[in-house]
Amino acid sequence: MSLFDVLPRSAAAVAGRLTVGGCALADLAAEFGTPAFVVDEAGLRETARTYLREFGARHRDTDVHFASKALPCAPVTRILAEEGLGCDVASAGELAIALAAGFDPAHILLHGNAKSDRDIGDAVAAGVGVIVVDGPDDVDRLERLAPDRQAVLLRVNPAVPGETHAAMDTGSPEAKFGVALEQAPALLERIAGVDGLELQGLHVHIGSQLLDLDGFGRAAEALAGLGHFGVYDLGGGLGIAYRPQDAAPTVADYAEATVGALHAHLDPTARLIVEPGRSVVGRSIVTLYSVVTVKRGVLTHVAVDGGMGDNLEPMLYGQRFAPFVLDADRSGETCELVGHHCESGDVLERGVELATPRVGDHVVVPVTGAYCYSLSNNYNGARRPPVIICNDGDARIGVRRETMDDLLVRSVL
């Protein structure tokens, strides 16, 4: 395995310079500055097509909804809408972003364990295709806010833990999502009695960054005792490789596991919904940084101009990455790659071999398409990075870099 196995699909070495979407990363750094998120448009489109192709080949009646919490960025997710994916949102804010991206409201699904009146009201007003009922309070709100026929699914907690980081496990009995299996029949009966609601089926989700796919079958089996329905949403969560040495299932593996679970335990004629997020966008974005300082002592600390303001994955989930010095042909050195934030925990990668870093070098971190933009923040007054979309040698700004004025724009002084 090489770095090209985790770099965007269009990545290439051209005359000793790394390119993404036909654009040299060094040129992007010079033109747009750093830090910056760089998007491989062609690779993103190919991933969307792979999802539709792999599921279509196994179960024609499948809706693939992008889990937009992984990347709520309208200029980028517009590409997914153009390719025919639906969208799943977890708030009125994510709904607004999805609509701006051009997703058909009928192909949008609303989630959320604590939906407000605003969340549900905006979804009903927009005409979203499905609202997932997470508990009895959702039914109360829908009864008030959905006077016409609103399609719903009931989210059931299957008591099937996802084999993943504890913060990304959504299927354990202790999880805050959905209703317990033993409580589901009563809530299903209540939903069926509300004139404004059309109960279509069941929903289940067991976790994110799943590298073991056996849980989908166990979750489907847990639903089987609740009766037969026309729609089953088996969630998302396919894990991906962040480093060349990581092993991860393919989209084909995921399709085989979820479709197999539907056919074996539920109903092979039912409509299937899946909600991939990380695996759709993760590989198609890299983060580009500049080295600000290098300190050699007990450890070699290489500090870049970003960090936990644009990538909280290492700090929240212990996620490991494979950073490297851009276009450098030098001997390696073991380093701590750290950010510029005033926090000892602002470490992007520990004990990583980097080509003897120097101030002014550029560092690339692959596989930052999922949750890095979502969780970006203004810690220490950091200005959130731009999103640069690259395709066929053309680079365009999808999201501009924040300005100093942006940091104060909501302040009432």
Q: By the 8 A CB rule, do 27 and 376 touch? A: no
Q: State the catalytic residue, choosing from 335, 342, 372, 390.
A: 342
Taking alpha carbons only, the member of 366, 407, 332, 357 closest to residue 38 is: 366
Cα separations in angstroms, 413 against 195, 377, 406, 410: 49, 22, 14, 9
Q: For this structure, is 342 an active site residue?
A: yes
Q: By the 8 A CB rule, do 392 and 22 touch? A: yes
Residue 171: half-sphere exposure toward Cβ, Cα within 13 Å:
27
The whole-angstrom separation of Cα 340 and Cα 382 is 9
Give SS3 for 274.
strand
Q: Residue 373 has which token pair?
A: 């933009």
Taking alpha carbons only, the member of 222, 213, 108, 128 closest to residue 173 is: 222
The whole-angstrom separation of Cα 241 and Cα 394 is 27
Residue 294: half-sphere exposure toward Cβ, Cα within 13 Å:
16
Which residues, in sequence order, are CB contacts of 355 under 8 Å at separation 6+?
Answer: 324, 325, 328, 329, 330, 331, 332, 333
Which residues, in sequence order, are CB contacts of 331 under 8 Å at separation 6+?
Answer: 355, 356
Which residues, in sequence order, are CB contacts of 410 under 8 Å at separation 6+?
Answer: none
Instruction: Please provide the DSSP assignment of 359-407 as one string.
Output: TT-EEEE----SSTTTT---GGGPPPPPEEEEETTEEEEEEPPP-HHHH
Residue 223's H or E segment, with its range, is helix 214-223
Active-site residue numbers?
342
